[in-house]
Structure 1
Amino acid sequence: MRKGTERRPSARERNRRSILDAAQAVLREDPDASLDEVAARAGVVRRTVYGHFTSRHDLVVALVRAASADFVEQVGEVDPDAPDPAGELAATLLRTWSTSRRYGPVIALARRTADDEIRAAMAPFHTIMIRLLENGQRAGVFSRHVAAPVLAEVLQAGSMAYQHAAQDGRWDGDEADVALGHLLTLGVPVADARAAVARATAA
């Protein structure tokens, strides 16, 4: 490869990307969609899909891994030990909401299986969030009535609820509203929660 040039993706790589994009769109519309429907949306035959993914389960796992990588990339600059855990959490939610909405239906589908491989794919994101929640609990900013790992699950369920409401047209808020809602769920007083979201937005 000559210096200054970039390698073009192969036809196989392009097909894989096309299948993943199609699967994400199809499963958002219908979590029970078949591989035939994914193949049709991607513009390939079913055999091509099986050339990349041996089963529907493998395809969902691949999507969750892509979501995890995207989440970790977006969360990469967060400091779980920040002196302002409320502002840090708000900033994290502001950065990751678009990714959460894009992959939310697929992650919700994957979580129904309680698959160890899927949980492992999301582990880096959960680890960062749990550390940040523990920091906030130690500082007395977040509620300590339950352990941080449980709170992380509560927040994820809340995010899913916001996504479903937005998809159904029952809610038209934005990422700032999600951040505020999560901080209130964590026991942060309303005025302090609004101030934290304002700090995160300004940053």
Structure 2
Amino acid sequence: MATKKAAATRERLSSRTGSPGTGSRGAANQRADALRNRAKILAGAVTAIRKNPDASVADIAAEAGVGRQTLYGHFRTRPELIDAALLESLERAEDVLSEISLDGDARDAFQRLVASSWVFVDQSRAVLAAAQKELSPGRIRELHEKAEARMRGLLERGQAEGAFRSDLPVSWLLTTTHVVLNGAAEEVRTGKLDPDDAPWFIDAILLPAFTHDAHSEQGR
């Protein structure tokens, strides 16, 4: 009797939940759908903000092709969404920049790093501008820590080896690099500069400025 009751119970459960394994497959499909929606929302955020820096949550949802309810299921607020979009942009950049060799002559390494860095500055510029309105300065610095540490380490090594001028603090060299990279991105955005020429223009400004004292200080 117990066996018959157990079999009947299993049959009832099976009719409600499907065959064994169906529940786990359904959960996996839901997770996959959620991941796809999240990726669509983040991509939509970048595109919408490029078009309009003040793009609303509704604008972003429309750009992503999802409903606002779906968007809010992933991100409760616009600042939270902007934070995630900037983080993803920086993580993509990190995947590429971490593979760049910084060995050898510091000036050559600097050129290699700048050639790749400016592209990501261009891609994330609009999101960063939105983030500066929504997030705290501390959070933005935190998100940029890896990229800044890489550039800072290279500049410090260059100063120690005499490749870069040492009469200016590394913090100023970092700031100058940031300004020039963003300037190049803006010139490309407005059609005043060809993207393929941007690295050359950046080097033409930064390298002479950073290496000025490599020769002049010897005569002091």
TM-score by length of 1: 0.79
Please list, as runs of the form range in 1=range in 2, the aligned pairs for 1:179-190 lying within 5 A after superposition.
179-187=203-211
- Equivalence for 2:138: 116
- Equivalence for 1:106: 127
Contact 1:19 1:38 in 2 (8 A): yes
- Equivalence for 1:177: 201
- Equivalence for 2:73: 51
- Equivalence for 1:88: 109
Q: Tell me, what secondary structure is at the counterpart of 2:144?
A: helix
Q: Are residues 1:65 and 2:87 paired?
A: yes
What is the alpha-carbon distance in structure 2 between the residues aligned to residue 23 and residue 188 of structure 1?
42
Contact 1:74 1:96 in 2 (8 A): no
Q: Are residues 1:21 and 2:47 paired?
A: no
Contact 2:118 2:185 in 1 (8 A): no
Q: Tell me, what secondary structure is at the counterpart of 2:182?
A: helix
Contact 1:68 1:124 in 2 (8 A): no
Contact 1:155 1:182 in 2 (8 A): yes
Q: Are residues 1:132 and 2:154 paired?
A: yes
Deviation at 1:150, TM superposition (A): 2.8
TM-score by length of 2: 0.74
What is the alpha-carbon distance in structure 2 between the residues aligned to residue 46 and residue 99 of structure 1?
29
Deviation at 1:114, TM superposition (A): 4.0
- Equivalence for 1:141: 163
Deviation at 1:79, TM superposition (A): 5.1
User: Aligned pair in 2 of structure 1 residues 154, 24: CA closer, same or farther (>3 Å)?
Assistant: same
The structure where helix makes up a greater share of residues is 2
What is the alpha-carbon distance in structure 2 between the residues aligned to residue 107 and residue 184 of structure 1?
28
Q: Which runs of 5+ in 2 are unaligned?
A: 1-27, 214-220
**Mean Cα deviation higher: 102-111 or 59-68:** 102-111
Sequence identity, in percent? Answer: 25
Report which structure shows greater RCO (CA 8 Å, sep ≥6).
1
1:67-95 CA-to-partner distances (Å, cap 9, x unmatched) read 22122222213455x34111001111223
State the AA in 2 paired with 1:12. Answer: A
Deviation at 1:176, TM superposition (A): 3.5
What is the alpha-carbon distance in structure 2 between the residues aligned to residue 93 and residue 123 of structure 1?
17
User: Aligned pair in 2 of structure 1 residues 35, 188: CA closer, same or farther (>3 Å)?
Assistant: farther
**Larger CA Rg, structure 1 vs 2:** 2
- Equivalence for 2:25: none
- Equivalence for 2:182: 160
Alignment length (residue pairs): 182
